[in-house]
Amino acid sequence: MAGEKLEALLDRLPTTKSIDELQVWTHELRDWLAVKHVLYHTVNKRGERAGTFTYSREWAERYLANNYEAIDPVLLGALRRNHPMDWKMLDWSSPQARKLMREARGAGIGNQGWSVPIWGPNGEFALFVVNHETDDATWEAWTRRHAKDVLLISHLVHQHFMRLMNREVAEATPDLSPREKEALTLLSLGHSRAQVADQLSISESTLRAYIDSARHKLGAQNTTHAVAQALARGMIVP
């Protein structure tokens, strides 16, 4: 069953037509992996940066504003490797690195991590990260069980992201994605967010990401407005 759900999730990856849609898909991937956070970040040979993540935007902005890239053991370790790495393998001994970890924990980042460096054929570097909060033994068991899946997923995400950046994927239309339509349809029928998340087999956090994406596309002020707009435009039929 778990393998079938991953296959269905990966089948939907190519249907994401923009980085915003991929961002929402990433939340669902996080749910399937049953971890706190997932991140993908890339820098091409022109120095252009882009990515998708489930961290808070406040933390992402703080990380960049404070130039934490220069001291982050996760990034520095990835730049010296071409194979997956457990964060426990990295050097956290400096005061700056320990301070960074304290701040990250305060921002909701877990104490465990698994990173996959990706070196692309066109000079790009990318990093795929899975992050969680748990003890060492539980994390070791998790990585042993999911390491191959994470490696596959990381490269599929990278390949699709490169197509998006190179505009090889058609631009997203104003229409809602199938998952956004499903979410708004169920909400229009009076189901609670918890019920909708359960029926779609996603977390309430991921559901919120789909709703926010739909609201943005529809120019809606809130969820009720988004449902009303979708109904009025014939995008959903209850």
Q: What's domain 2-165's architecture? A: 2-Layer Sandwich (3.30)
- Compute the distance between CA of residue 141 and CA of residue 137 in angstroms, rounded to an integer: 6
Query: Of the ranges 55-69, 140-154, 164-178, which one carries the lowest mean pLDDT score?
Result: 164-178
Quote the tokens at residue 122: 């066109």
What is the pTM (predicted TM-score) of this model? 0.81
pLDDT band at 238 (very low <50, low <70, confident <90, very high): confident
pLDDT band at 1 (very low <50, low <70, confident <90, very high): low
Tens of pLDDT, residues 99-116: 999 999 999 999 999 999
Q: Domain spans of the chain?
A: 2-165, 178-232
The CATH number corresponding to 178-232 among 3.30.70.360, 2.60.40.10, 3.50.40.10, 1.10.10.10 equals 1.10.10.10
pLDDT band at 47 (very low <50, low <70, confident <90, very high): confident
The answer to whether 116 touches 151, Cβ cutoff 8 Å, is: yes
Tens of pLDDT, residues 168-209: 766 555 688 888 999 999 999 989 999 999 999 999 989 999
DSSP assignments along 151-199, one per residue: HHHHHHHHHHHHHHHTT-SPPPPSSPPHHHHHHHHHHHTT--HHHHHHH
